[in-house]
Amino acid sequence: MRTSKIARKTAETDIALTLNLDGTGVSTIDTGCGFLDHMLTLFAKHGRFDLTVTCKGDTEVDDHHTTEDIGIALGEAFKAALGDKKGITRYGSCILPMDEALIVSAVDLSGRGYLAYELNIPTQKVGTFDTELVWEFWIAFARNAECTLHLRQPAGSNSHHIIEGAFKSAARSLKEAVAIDPAFADEIPSTKGVL
């Protein structure tokens, strides 16, 4: 089983996270931020990742530190669970409609952290959640998972739909990328021999 456990404690957050890449989409999420809980729950479901996240953060300030640090921890968990990446498909992509929103994601588990982000979220908040934190989450994830991640929005006008579509699309791209290709189960998917 490709699993990992991350504990991350700072002056701003205290996070415990477990990940199973070969799960069924079961999750238990308690971040102290309802909207982020919703996004991580559907991320686990659409990626078929078993995920538990608990976070005690300084949400009395705002959700910034909680959101960014969970992105860091989730990225670290993916990197740890993937190990040497032997046999993985490596690449994944998804075009996902979410009502009027259309989100495109693509991922390369390259060993290089990079985020190309073109989401045009029209409002500053969804509920109490600052929508600029979506970028903070995904840049933290990409850097710490050491993957290249593209998130683009060809269409969309509802902030909730755009963000939810991004989390679902990214999950499905990652599900494809982490999958083991039986034809190459004993190979690193790179001419360099390492990722």
Single-letter amino acid code for the residue at 68: E
Spatial distance between the Cα atoms of 144 and 175, rounded to a whole number of angstroms: 17
Which pLDDT value is given to residue 126? Answer: 98
Q: What is the DSSP string of 67-107?
A: HHHHHHHHHHHHHHHHTT-TTB--EEEEEEEETTEEEEEEE
Spatial distance between the Cα atoms of 89 and 109, rounded to a whole number of angstroms: 9
Residues in CB range of 49: below 8 A, 6 or more apart:
19, 20, 21, 23, 25, 27, 43, 171, 174, 175
Instruction: Give the H/E segment covering residue 152.
Output: strand 148-155
Which pLDDT value is given to residue 18? Answer: 98
Which pLDDT value is given to residue 184? Answer: 86
pLDDT tens digits in sequence order for the chain, 195 residues long: 899 999 999 999 999 999 999 999 999 999 999 999 999 999 999 999 999 999 999 999 999 999 999 999 999 999 999 999 999 999 999 999 999 999 999 999 999 999 999 999 999 999 999 999 999 999 999 999 999 999 999 999 999 999 999 999 999 999 999 999 998 888 988 888 888
Tokens of 38: 């919703």
Which pLDDT value is given to residue 152? Answer: 98
Is 149:138 a contact under the CB 8 Å cutoff?
yes
Which pLDDT value is given to residue 29? Answer: 98
- pTM as predicted: 0.97
